[in-house]
Amino acid sequence: MVSLEASPFDRHYGLEVEEATDELVRGRVEVRQELLQPVGLVHGGVHASIAEALASLGTNVGVVPEGKIGLGQSNHSSFLRPISEGTIHAVARRRHRGRTTWIWDVELADDEGRLCAISRVTIAVRER
């Protein structure tokens, strides 16, 4: 399995995965000083990284057992509302399971459940 324990960058910014199937992946990141951009908000790259990680993980849950691998192809993140403290709660839902690409929609919310970012991630499926 491609496990997240083996993902150094996701550990580096602090992703914890709570649930991972090939249809839905949940994770969370506690906001810490080192995740902020200059004016004290969570850096957009953190949101994009979380989305990328969850979509990639969910795809690999599905395709690794078939001898394939999922690699990020496109990540389109929209930032709706700043977060500066608390926890980022992320849920990735699969929208498309094609032969060569899977597409996921990821929602990132704050502790009050307010939507802070949404991301559409396309994962390419390749032979290993």
- Residues of the shown chain interacting with its own copies in the complex, contacts defined by CB under 8 A: 2-4, 6-13, 33-39, 41-46, 48-50, 52-53, 56, 60, 69, 71-80, 82, 95-96, 98, 100-101, 103, 105, 115, 118, 120, 122, 124
CA distance 95 to 1: 22
Report angle CA 94, 80, 30 to the nearest 5 degrees.
Answer: 75
Residue number, 60 or 89, with CB nearest to its own copies: 60
Active site (catalytic) residues:
52
Residue number, 12 or 19, with CB nearest to its own copies: 12
CA distance 95 to 28: 21
Residue number, 41 or 92, with CB nearest to its own copies: 41
